[in-house]
Amino acid sequence: MMNYQKILVENIHSTAIATVDAEGKPVNRIIDMMLEKDGKLYFLTAKGKAFYDQLMAQAYVSIVGVKNQASISLHGNIRNIGKQYLDEIFEKNPYMKQIYPDDRREPLEVFEIYEGEGEYFDISVTPIVRESFTIGEVKASNHGYIIHDTCIGCGKCIDVCPQNCIEEGVPYRIIERHCVHCGACMQVCPQHAIEKSNV
């Protein structure tokens, strides 16, 4: 499997990070992924930002970046590690000196994404491709659409699948790697044999 964390730092770099504000609304902004170490990711922000308060309150982020029509998303738990790795981040990302000159870095603190789950998703190919990955000690969760044993093999799901990613068999099987999660199969199944989980 590819090292998606490295791609987030080296190829995408400017990612969108979502948090939730005090009113329960999502907030999105571009934050650069500054470092990758042992599969963990590092970014920084300034103490004066609402972003900082939201990070401290929920200790959780949802990230997504895009490159060449493929996206890498990642959600997981974060922790504030203060000034750790700050010098290394500035060395590897020299453009930061333009924004925060040497003697004016006091507001900055570093955050570590230490565990989470992610997905690579490419809709520029036919069929589309998705692939999951994890960071840290988390177990990958099942997600996607599943066809249960009550399937009677009528083939209605195959007729509506935009990705042609359902295989005949007993029961029929959805190839999760190519599934776009549109739900069309579940809608037409006369047996209600198709279940959605965590999509």
139 binds its own copies (CB under 8 A): no
Q: Which of residues 1, 38, 126, 190 is near its own copies by CB under 8 A?
A: 126
Q: How far is the CB of 95 from its own copies (least distance, A)?
A: 8
Q: How many residues bind its own copies (CB under 8 A)?
A: 61
Nearer to its own copies among residue 84 and residue 197 (C-beta): 197
- Rounded Cα gap, residues 41 and 169, in angstroms: 42
Question: Where does this chain touch its own copies (CB under 8 A) — which range of 1-9, 80-88, 97-105, 148-156?
Answer: 97-105
Nearer to its own copies among residue 38 and residue 48 (C-beta): 48
16 binds its own copies (CB under 8 A): yes
Q: Which residue has the tokens 């738990």?
A: 77
191 binds its own copies (CB under 8 A): no
State the Cα angle at 174 between 173 and 176, rounded to 5°. Answer: 135
User: CA-based diameter of the chain, in Å?
Assistant: 70
- Rounded Cα gap, residues 52 and 45, in angstroms: 7
Cβ pair 96, 42 in contact under 8 A:
no
Site pattern 156..175 for its own copies (x: CB under 8 A):
----xxxx------------
- Rounded Cα gap, residues 168 and 116, in angstroms: 34
Q: How far is the CB of 184 from its own copies (least distance, A)?
A: 5
- Rounded Cα gap, residues 5 and 104, in angstroms: 29
Distances in Å between the Cα of 89 and the Cα atoms of 110, 125, 179 are: 9, 35, 38
101 binds its own copies (CB under 8 A): yes
Restricting to residues 29-88, name those near its own copies by CB under 8 A.
29-30, 46-50, 58, 60-66, 69, 71, 73, 75
Nearest to 15 by CA among 34, 36, 37: 34
132 binds its own copies (CB under 8 A): no
3-state secondary structure of 72: strand
Residues that bind its own copies (CB under 8 A): 14-20, 24-30, 46-50, 58, 60-66, 69, 71, 73, 75, 95, 98-101, 104-108, 121, 123-124, 126, 128, 145, 160-163, 180-184, 186-187, 196, 198-199
